[in-house]
A and B are shown apart, each in its own frame.
Chain A
Amino acid sequence: MNFIRKRILIAIIVFIVALNLDFFLPRLVPGNIAQTYASGHLMPTQDVQLIEARFGLNQPLYIQYFDFIKNVFSWPPYFGVSFQFYPQPVTSLVLSRTEWTLILIAASGLIAAVWAFAFAAVSAMRRGGKFEMSSLYSSIIFWSIPGFWFAMLLIWVFGVSLRWFPIFGTVGYNVVPGSMSYALSVIWHAVLPVTTLSLIMYGHYYIILRGSSQEALASDYVIAARGRGLRERVVSLKYVMRNSILPVVSLLGFSIAQLVSIEVVVEAVYSYAGVGDLIVDAVLYRDYPLIEGTFFYLTMVVILFGLFGDFLLIKLDPRLTR
């Protein structure tokens, strides 16, 4: 099967699985989510029944399923109404924050990928040298560091102590949207979250790229290229790195899922008003519909960026189209 067709098929399966998880996970809870929610808030029984009726939880399961699917495929997709931010629909809550999450993911994913690629290329040129060892060790550290802790450290040093960067939020209070100062304020607020995410993702990407570039370095065509007297720079970029891209392809979806996963926690620490911060609020308030909605949309973000990355990789490695 053609590479991109296969990827689209996988994306469709992920979409279906995510929908079903969203439907069945909350409905398999002992009792139901209205009762669980009510038990945390000491509600009387008739209120619980009202919630059940409002959310259709007293209907037979197949009718609920039918309604759920119908609602999701309407426009805008309907995931119910938030408990905490009642009566706002989950979708509008999520969509109002999506742009911030997209900014963080796009910026840090891109920075991390370019950086890791450059470092892996230089490492391939000077194998076993100080440069390779220091980037290897630093990437292992960034791979291992818990995202939330790293975020807390950066807040402490650059936000609280040095006061170089704001410690929370996406944009300043008194800036006019659309102005130059607005754009600057957005960048200003994004510096710490993007730094956190891109350093961690640099660790992930560098380790993957180094693994595949080492395999390329041990291959015959690289030895042959060296034998022809090509310069190390040419060997590294044209022979080693070009061929290191292919193994990365199969891990692309995985690394984007990881990026989104870490992003949730990092947004929470920086109180960055994206979808990740929303899901953490939803946990705090036991807001079940909101959790389902945010999970679904975050999975869609992974699918979208994954497909985008696939198209990018085809440009870099034409063998994939075959």
Chain B
Amino acid sequence: MASKKKQSSSLSLSFKNGRFGILYSIFWKKTRAKIGTCILLFFFVLLIVGPFLYPYSPYAISGAKNQPPSLAHVFGTDYQGKDVLSQVIYGAYPSLLAGIVSALGGTILGLLLGVIAGYFSKVEGAISAASDVVITFPAIPLLVMIGMLYPQIDQLLILALILILWPVAARAIRSQVLSVKNRPYVEAAKASGMGDWEIIRKIIIPEVTAIAFAWFVLSVATAIIILVALEFLGVGSPDVVSWGSIFYWAQQFAFYSGDWWWVLAPGISITLVTAAFAMIGFSLEEAMNPRLIR
């Protein structure tokens, strides 16, 4: 009970100094935050160092066909004799990059709309109705349709994903703004003659950056899961090595040749990375929820 009390008082004091420091210490107490961070660090090192240390190209035939994992080919080879680990390493770049970019765009859009919806009560109804409409669309069928109709424009899928991802972040940010906007220091700022946009820029946005970051991390996981599924379905080009396109080919050939490693190793890698983003994101979100005192 004593520790609970201490934490809650430090939370309320945290606006003065070291707000992020306190959030960080709550976050870092969680085991899953540590596990997630370790997994991500491991994969980022692998992605950066891998292309230099690991000798194979994902596009070149570098060994015998359908080889199980060995010291030469750590994740084995596929039906053409291409190395699977190098496909996992190089395939991460398009998938992760597109995921991070669209999550960033979605979070920024969500931050703007969430702040506007929370601060100006006149437009709140319109924005939350828009977000209710957007989240009702099943993402994968919509993106499949867009990706198929406009295969020549790569950026269009990312743009569409941004337009799909913003409502979840906006919702969380809006409720945070609602709780901030009636605090005494905002009233004081108003009384001292600060304009609405100045208050938003100087007080509200700094208050919600942390929660926006949590949703950014979670959106990266969501975006990767959606993008990988699209690549798996053959949207875009299956000939470009990406996390999803590995399975586009594996689904057609791995069952017949019995190459379990070709399915297992890349899948575990993807799941670990998305789970790591999810563990960090959910821990951050929990650490920032003022209604939870744990």
By a beta-carbon cutoff of 8 Å, the part of chain A in contact with chain B is 9-11, 13-14, 17-18, 21, 25-26, 29, 33, 36, 136-137, 140-141, 143-149, 152-153, 155-156, 160, 207, 211, 214-215, 218-219, 250, 253-254, 257-258, 260-262, 264-265, 268-269, 276, 279-280, 283-284, 286, 288, 291-292, 294-295, 298-299, 302-303, 306
Query: B250 contacts which chain A residues (CB < 8 A)?
Result: 152
Of chain A, the residue at the smallest CB distance from B243 is: A146
CA distance A261 to B135 in the complex (A): 11
Query: B282 contacts which chain A residues (CB < 8 A)?
Result: 140, 207
Residue A152 contacts which of B167, B251, B271 (CB distance < 8 angstroms)? B251
Within 8 A of A (CB), among B245-294: 247, 250-251, 255, 260, 263-264, 267, 270-271, 274-275, 277-279, 282, 285-286, 289, 291-294
Interface string of B224-253 (1 = CB under 8 A from A): 011011001111000000000001001100
Asked whether any CB of chain A lies closer than 8 Å to the CB of B48, the reply is: no
Asked whether any CB of chain A lies closer than 8 Å to the CB of B139, the reply is: yes
Q: Are A156 and B139 in touch, CB under 8 angstroms?
A: no
CA distance A83 to B245 in the complex (A): 26
What are 16 inter-chain pairs, A to B, with CB distance below 8 A?
A17-B137, A140-B278, A153-B263, A153-B264, A156-B255, A160-B255, A211-B285, A218-B292, A261-B138, A261-B139, A261-B141, A264-B140, A284-B234, A288-B148, A288-B149, A295-B144
CA distance A103 to B5 in the complex (A): 50
Known: A17-B133, A257-B135, A294-B141. A149 touches B149 (CB 8 A): no
By a beta-carbon cutoff of 8 Å, the part of chain B in contact with chain A is 32, 129, 132-133, 135-142, 144-146, 148-150, 167-168, 171, 221, 225-226, 228-229, 232-235, 247, 250-251, 255, 260, 263-264, 267, 270-271, 274-275, 277-279, 282, 285-286, 289, 291-294
Query: A18 contacts which chain B residues (CB < 8 A)?
Result: 137
User: Could you tell me the dominant secondary structure of chain A's interface residues?
Assistant: helix
Known: A14-B136, A292-B145. A149 touches B267 (CB 8 A): yes
- The winner among A140, A155, A303 for most chain B CB atoms within 10 A is A140
In the complex, what's the smallest C-beta–C-beta distance from B11 to chain A, in angstroms? 12
Residue B145 contacts which of A10, A25, A36, A261 (CB distance < 8 angstroms)? A25
Known: A141-B275, A218-B294, A253-B135. A152 touches B149 (CB 8 A): no
Q: Are A280 and B233 in touch, CB under 8 angstroms?
A: yes
Of chain B, the residue at the smallest CB distance from A27 is: B149
Query: B148 contacts which chain A residues (CB < 8 A)?
Result: 283, 286, 288, 291
CA distance A302 to B139 in the complex (A): 11
In the complex, what's the smallest C-beta–C-beta distance from A209 to chain B, in angstroms? 13
Q: Are B32 and A10 in touch, CB under 8 angstroms?
A: no
Residue B132 contacts which of A10, A140, A264 (CB distance < 8 angstroms)? A10
- The winner among A262, A265, A299 for most chain B CB atoms within 10 A is A265
Q: Are A33 and B141 in touch, CB under 8 angstroms?
A: no
| Inter-chain CB contacts under 8 Å: number | 160
Q: Are B32 and A140 in touch, CB under 8 angstroms?
A: yes
Of chain B, the residue at the smallest CB distance from A266 is: B229
In the complex, what's the smallest C-beta–C-beta distance from A67 to chain B, in angstroms? 20
Known: A156-B255, A254-B168. A146 touches B138 (CB 8 A): no
User: Could you tell me the dominant secondary structure of chain B's interface residues?
Assistant: helix
CA distance A18 to B221 in the complex (A): 26
Give me the 5 closest cross-chain CB pairs, A-B, nearest first: A144-B275, A144-B274, A149-B267, A254-B135, A261-B140
Of chain A, the residue at the smallest CB distance from B232 is: A148
Residue B133 contacts which of A13, A140, A145 (CB distance < 8 angstroms)? A13
CA distance A265 to B286 in the complex (A): 31
Query: A141 contacts which chain B residues (CB < 8 A)?
Result: 271, 275
Residue B225 contacts which of A146, A207, A260, A306 (CB distance < 8 angstroms)? A146
Q: Are B144 and A291 in touch, CB under 8 angstroms?
A: yes
In the complex, what's the smallest C-beta–C-beta distance from B68 to chain A, in angstroms? 15
In the complex, what's the smallest C-beta–C-beta distance from B72 to chain A, in angstroms? 25
In the complex, what's the smallest C-beta–C-beta distance from A277 to chain B, in angstroms? 11
Q: Are B279 and A140 in touch, CB under 8 angstroms?
A: yes
Residue B149 contacts which of A25, A140, A268, A276 (CB distance < 8 angstroms)? A25
Of chain B, the residue at the smallest CB distance from A151 is: B251
CA distance A33 to B149 in the complex (A): 8
CA distance A268 to B252 in the complex (A): 12
In the complex, what's the smallest C-beta–C-beta distance from A304 to chain B, in angstroms? 11
Q: Are B138 and A299 in touch, CB under 8 angstroms?
A: yes
Q: Are A218 and B291 in touch, CB under 8 angstroms?
A: yes
Q: Are A13 and B144 in touch, CB under 8 angstroms?
A: no
In the complex, what's the smallest C-beta–C-beta distance from A29 to chain B, in angstroms? 5
Query: B136 contacts which chain A residues (CB < 8 A)?
Result: 10-11, 14, 253-254, 257, 299, 302-303, 306
CA distance A131 to B83 in the complex (A): 40
Q: Are A152 and B263 in touch, CB under 8 angstroms?
A: yes
Query: B146 contacts which chain A residues (CB < 8 A)?
Result: 25
Q: Are A262 and B271 in touch, CB under 8 angstroms?
A: no
Residue B247 contacts which of A33, A152, A155, A302 (CB distance < 8 angstroms)? A152
